[in-house]
Amino acid sequence: MTLVKSLAARGIGAFWSIFVIPKLAYDVIRHPLAFFGAKKRENRPNCLDDPELGTHGFIRIEGMRYHYVANGPEDKPLMLLVHGFPECWYSWRYQLKEFKKDYRVVAIDNRGYGETDKPPNVSDYQMSYLVGDIEKLVNAFGYKSCILVGHDWGAAIAWAVASKFPSIVDKLIIMNVPHGKAFAKHLATSRSQFLKSWYIFLFQLPWLAEWLIWANDYKAFDSMMRWYHNAVSKDDIEALKYSISQSGTLSASINYYRAAIRYEADQSYVKHISDTPTLLIWGDADMALEKEMAVLSGNYVSDFTLKFIEGASHWVQQDDPELVNEAMREFLK
């Protein structure tokens, strides 16, 4: 069944490539030097070393090295922040500063991202490994449980952690990703959501997704700026480019999508009803995920709070940080 699903996804991806390949070819012919002109980024941009955001650190668990930035006293409760695609720990810059007085706030570079190790195989990015990373990190940081906060892929991982290891999640805060069952149900019945998910299928094809993002010095990141409700600085975009340009990161980040299709996750990672108190924050101007799924997610959580952020994009915690932080504080009272 998994093989059939994988082949079907690649077939759909091949269809979408009909629209992507001519655009790439046109760019190569028209501006070959620019197309192949990705800069070599060896040093962190200054914004990534802002002391107000916290201290950089590394931790090694079972041979895997993880990079993180931590802020706040070590004797405070742990708030663990898990980023999404195609970002890094820096996507939590506003939360690292906001919650440092009340929590030990730790933002990680996920497996395969930035300065964290990058296992080479698609199979290394199965949900079981992604969830296992979080469970091990909570313990390695010296805690038994945490406030777990996730966005995009980090949110998908956080949903699964709360399902598989509920005892390590005191409260769950999710941003702009629905419960797995809500996503599956809506995708099966919504043509518009299926079309908005085109990139998931395109990412199943080897190399093409990497070229699409890498081309013209990661121009895809510059295009992301128009999706934000509030201004994102050039330094912020350069920080993301620095992270994704680290050796192996681009393919590793796309391998999350490939592994999700190729390998069936155990149902224990998608509990039908979660008892973990959960806040779902949703920017209602998300161009990739429809907000109906946010409402539907409440059917799978017994203690559920939903907060829409009007006009905010998919990258809600960066797009409208004041309202997001306010919603988080209210939930954490």
Q: Which residues are catalytic?
A: 152, 257, 314
Q: Where are the beta strands (DSSP E) in the chain?
A: 55-61, 64-71, 78-82, 104-108, 146-151, 169-175, 278-283, 304-309
* Coil/strand/helix, residue 48: helix
The torsion angles phi and psi of 66, rounded to 5 degrees, stand at -115, 140
For residues 133 and 131, what is the distance between their CA atoms, to the nearest angstrom? 5
Neighbours of 199 (CB within 10 A): 16
For residues 271 and 78, what is the distance between their CA atoms, to the nearest angstrom? 24
Query: DSSP states of 209-228 as a string?
Result: HHHHHHHHHHHHHHHHGGG-
Q: Record the tokens describing residue 65, joined without a space.
A: 């090295």
Alpha helices for 127-246 (secondary structure H) = 127-140, 153-164, 180-189, 191-196, 198-202, 208-224, 234-244
Q: Record the tokens describing residue 8, joined without a space.
A: 């079907």
Residue 67 β-bridge partners: 58
